[in-house]
Amino acid sequence: MKKRRTLPPTYFLSALVVMALMHWGMPITELVSYPWNMIGVVPLLIGGLLNLVADAAFKKRGTTVKPFEASTTLITDGVFRVSRHPMYLGMVLILCGLAILMGSLSPFIVVIVFGILMEQIFIRIEESMLFDKFGTAWLEYKTQTRKWL
């Protein structure tokens, strides 16, 4: 029986729930008040767009979007010219936008923890798999494109 792994969307949804609970249960202090908190809409929308565009690129090239599955194509154009991991960046931007909209300190803690978890659980393994599959092409792309932004 194949072991099911928890995928990034589950971590993302969990982060949303924890952010809300922390904001309403222990906000610590208000960092951003109305109307300045409305600036949070900008990273939220950019993050959502990044995820949609990156997902479309995976589908267009016929390669997997799922971590731990072997990629069939190394995508280096479009949003992948800006970030090696635009979907993780998009999720972090969405969480940042929501944290700004909430305005309290505690949701930002979740954003940081989420980014660290994505790095440790997914990005390290994905990058190792990409090196194994694409070798020097991966190394060249890696030297030209930042991991996050």
Per-residue pLDDT tens digits for 23-42: 999 999 999 999 999 999 99
Q: What are phi and psi of 109, to 5 degrees?
A: -65, -40
Residue 90 corresponds to which tokens in the numbers above? 């998009």
Domains of the chain: which residue ranges?
A: 33-144
The amino acid sitting at 84 is R
Give the rounded percent of residues in the chain with a pLDDT score beyond 70: 99
What's the N-to-C CA distance of the chain in angstroms?
A: 38
The amino acid sitting at 107 is P
Q: What are phi and psi of 108, to 5 degrees?
A: -65, -30
Between 2-16, 40-54, 128-142, the lowest mean confidence (pLDDT) is in: 2-16
Per-residue confidence band for 4, with pLDDT thresholds at 50, 70 and 90: confident
98-135 pLDDT, tens digit per residue, is 999 999 999 999 999 999 999 999 999 999 999 999 99
DSSP state of 2: P
